[in-house]
Amino acid sequence: MSTPFASAAPYHARYRPPYPAEFYTLLADRFALDGWQTVLDLGAGPGANSLALAPLVDHVYAVDPEPAMLAEGRRLAEERGCTNVSWLEGDASVVSRLCLPRIDLCIIGSAFRRMDRARVLADLDAMLAPRGGIVLVSSAAGSEGRRPPWITVVEEVCAHFLGADGRTADDVADPDEPASREDLDERLAKSAFSRIDTTTWNQRLRFTADQLIGLQLSFPGPARPCSVTGRAPSSPRCVRPCWTTIRAARTPGPSPSRPPSRRGPGRDRGPGSLTGPAAVQ
């Protein structure tokens, strides 16, 4: 069954900026990813996180309710020769019934704010391996707490071509930002993932006018025709300061020894420090 994300799928795959490389490096170190792990990417979309983590682990299960998003993910995986990602249709409410193996790491992006958070955290607690963890990752435009001035221009253009209800300020500015960080922290505190560690990166991204248009079309919304006359010059750039945040819970302690990596040389990692459920946002 199609969702409001169907028409956004090709734009999402092409125009959403990736998370910084440091994010995946941190996950590899913190969760001792050495080619033996199983990862669940819940609300995967076209699989940006799945494809980035696939070379570091044994297998990734990319789960999303939108078939068009999964189709984009399969296409990208084929283009990159990635064969250890399974693309499964479903939402967070059915994840416990997908008959997945024990999960070492679950990663959730912006989709977390649209989930029944208490329920999904409880379900994941039952699905994770004893030393498993959760990653909740989000990104937003501008410095934290400050609205970039260029968003006003984007809002005016969206209102002109999509109508006043075509895109909200939150969609334009913070498409991945949870509705309330305080609420999220409170939810985590009441769950099995109550020990939280936070890491934030700042980025500066450059967009052409065409890329900014594609970015707006990557957000969910009702399908509607949109005609733009003329073409913006290719030279103007919009500099978009961004920050990406993850929160992680850790319990000090030695990790058990692991067999050699199945993913080839250079994948073995040193001992990790996670001994119980972990959350990363």
pLDDT in the model for residue 227: 33
Residue 27: its pLDDT value, please?
Answer: 94
At 182 the pLDDT is 67
**Each residue's pLDDT tens digit, 49-108:** 999 999 999 999 999 999 999 999 999 999 999 999 999 999 999 999 999 999 999 999
**How far separated are the first and last CA of the chain, in Å rounded?**
30
DSSP state letter for 77: H
Amino acid present at 176? D
CA–CA separation, 40 and 192 (whole Å): 18
- The model's pTM is 0.76
- In this prediction, residue 54 carries a pLDDT of 98
Q: What was the pLDDT predicted at 264?
A: 42
Enumerate domains of the chain plus CATH numbers: 9-143+176-203+242-280 (3.40.50.150)
Gap between the Cα atoms of 35 and 29, Å rounded: 12
- pLDDT value for 225: 37
Question: Which residue has 């607690």 as its token pair?
Answer: 125
Residue with tokens 């900026």: 17
| Residue ranges in the chain modelled with pLDDT below 50 | 168-179, 223-281
**CA geometry: angle at 22 spanning 45 and 110, to 5°?**
30
